[in-house]
Each structure stands twice: as structure tokens, then as C-alpha cells.
Amino acid sequence: MKKRCAQSFCARSLCALLAGLAMLVVAGCSTGKDAVAQGGTFDFVSPGGKTVLFYDPPAGRGTIGDLSGEDLLSGKRLSVNQFDGKVVVINLWGQWCGPCRAEAAGLEQVYTATKDSGVAFLGINVKDPQQDKPQDFVRDNKISYPSIYDPSLRSLVALGSKYPTSVIPSTLVLDRQHRVAAVFLQALTPSDLQPVVTRLAAEPR
């Protein structure tokens, strides 16, 4: 009986030790070089758990880091910096996500309606380990703007350590100076997004 108790105590001690080591590893990772955006000033805050946030006046908006990655379809390098001087709508999505699938047609509609006024869209496809599935989704739904393929969410370090990357779909809207002007932590309709994009496109450069 004493032997069994001693074994049980050792097992519990070992579990506690392993759990402690795991916490140290996580803490070490969270404070590493890749834990925060490099070169960005955007500091995400959601007062009262709001899901729609606007950052005004423009002078108070922060910038994200260098958001870049591999194009979902072509494999070429994509970066927000390629859209210099444009309003940029960044949409985090996955083909496995029902609300993402539901909002896709509306996002394409807003992109088509606003692209000639200096607006770019960039999708970030996340948590899709099989690349062919989101590729098929893009083609089947005739989505014409590009997406970065990022199953591990690695590129999203550019959004800063506080951005809730677990919220999918979510959308950030950058002004022409690539400062964060709006964040939507929910699925969108054209009536939600288009007025915001149009207003930002009309702001003085």
C-alpha cells in the first residue's frame, strides 16, 4: 500500500514538474523576438469587449509591422507594403470557417466597387493545413484579390502581441498611410464595410 502511494506521489510530482516546464517554455516563446510586431506601433485595445473599433482622429492611429507571406495561389511573396498609398482591407479567414464562407461574396463585392478609388484587399488564410482546400474555395467563389497562405498564423506577428488572432473571421482596415483605422472582430456585410472603406479612401493624403 505504501509503495503504491509513493508511486502515486512521484507521478503527481512528475506531472507538476512537466507542467511547470511547459509554462516556462510558453513564457520564453512569448517574450522572444517574434512575439511582437517588428516596426509597428499599433496597440490593440478593445474597451468593454467591443467587436467594432474605429481609431480616430487619424493622427492617433498606429501602424502594423511588415505583414507578408506566401501567396495562396502562386506561392510568390506578398506584402502589405506592395499597396503603397492605398487603403488596405486585411481579412483573416479560413475555408473551414462558416462565417468566413458567408462573408466572402460580400467582401468581393466591396473590393470590386472600391478598387478603382485606391483600395486594395488582402486575405490571410489561416489554420488550413491542406492548401488545396482554400485554393479551391478562392477559385470556386471567384475571389479576385490575393491571400497570404499562413496555416500557422506566423505572419500575424505583424499585428502585435495583443491582437486576438483566435477571432476568425476578423478584418482590419488600414488608411492610405497604412495606419489601423478600423477593426472588425466579426463577419461583415457590404453595408458594414463599404462606407468605412469609402470614407478612408476620401481622406486627405
CATH number of the domain enclosing 191: 3.40.30.10
Is the domain of 80 the same as that of 163?
A: yes
Mean local confidence (pLDDT), 27-35: 32
Residue 32 has pLDDT above 70, yes or no: no
Domains identified in the chain, total number = 2
- Report the pLDDT value the prediction gives residue 38, as an integer from 0 to 100: 52
Mean pLDDT of 57-66: 96
* Confidence category of residue 205, pLDDT binned at 50, 70, 90: confident
Closest CA to 31 of 156, 150, 161: 161
Its domain, for residue 5, covers: 1-31
The confidence score (pLDDT) of residue 34 equals 35
Residues 155 and 194 occupy one common structural domain: yes
Q: How high does pLDDT run on average in the chain?
A: 85
What would the grid cell of residue 22 be?
511547459
- The mean pLDDT of 10-28, rounded to a whole number, is 35
Separation of first and last alpha carbons in the chain:
79
The verdict on 96 and 1 lying in the same domain is no
pLDDT digits 0-9 by tens, 140-181: 999 999 999 999 999 999 999 899 999 999 999 999 999 999
Q: Answer whether 181's CB lies under 8 Å from 175's CB.
A: yes
Give yes or no for a contact between 72 and 149, defined as CB atoms under 8 angstroms apart.
Answer: yes
| C-alpha to C-alpha distance for 158 and 101, rounded to whole angstroms | 25
Answer yes or no: pTM beyond 0.85.
no
Spatial CB neighbours of 178, under 8 Å, sequence gap ≥ 6? 63, 64, 80, 81, 83, 88
